């Protein structure tokens, strides 16, 4: 299987590479205080790329991934081999990941949840601010990139 694995390091155009990947692995045992899901994981979900992640921390919110203990190299190899050798397993995880992204991680969904939290704290403050704001409210899809065109990375509208 080693001939099918590439360690690529840091990349300027991650979305392009993710779109070509069969599987993405992030077996990190420490996200160095990060409490949300890394962008590479979100992009893989949106693109329908199966994931193998380390157990623990914020990554466990990605319920469609395969999970391994970060120090378990054999478990990681087995999880990768299973996904690489099974078209059905890859397709199932890809579809589930896309659905999870759409339901939980899409920017509009996350923004709406934050608005609910802020509204709960402020008794309608957001609505009053919007009424008097000169900044237009974001409309449209707001993707960090368009899943249907992985070569294009666009900023969300303001």
Domains of the chain: 2-105 (3.40.50.2000)
Instruction: Give the per-residue pLDDT at 149.
Output: 42
Model pLDDT for residues 89-103, shown as the tens digit of each residue: 999 999 999 999 999
Region of 124 on the Ramachandran plot (φ > 0 left; ψ -120 to 50 alpha; else beta): left
Between the alpha carbon of residue 25 and those of residues 51, 106, 113, 125, the distances in Å are 6, 21, 28, 42
List of the chain residues with pLDDT < 50: 138-158
């Amino acid at each position: 299987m080693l001939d099918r694995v590439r360690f690529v390091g840091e990349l300027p155009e991650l979305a392009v590479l993710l779109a070509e990947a069969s599987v993405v692995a992030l077996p990190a045992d420490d996200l160095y205080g990060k409490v949300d899901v890394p962008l590479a994981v979100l992009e893989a979900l949106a693109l329908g790329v199966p994931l193998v992640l380390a157990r623990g921390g914020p990554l466990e919110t990605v319920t469609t991934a395969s999970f391994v203990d970060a120090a378990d190299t054999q478990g990681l190899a087995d999880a990768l081999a299973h996904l690489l050798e099974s078209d059905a397993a890859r397709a199932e995880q890809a579809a589930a990941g896309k659905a999870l992204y759409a339901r939980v991680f899409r920017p509009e969904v996350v923004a709406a949840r934050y608005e609910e939290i802020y509204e709960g704290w402020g008794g309608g403050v957001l609505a009053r601010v919007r009424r008097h704001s000169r900044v237009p409210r974001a409309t449209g899809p707001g993707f960090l990139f368009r899943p249907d065109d992985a070569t294009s990375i666009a900023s969300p509208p303001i």
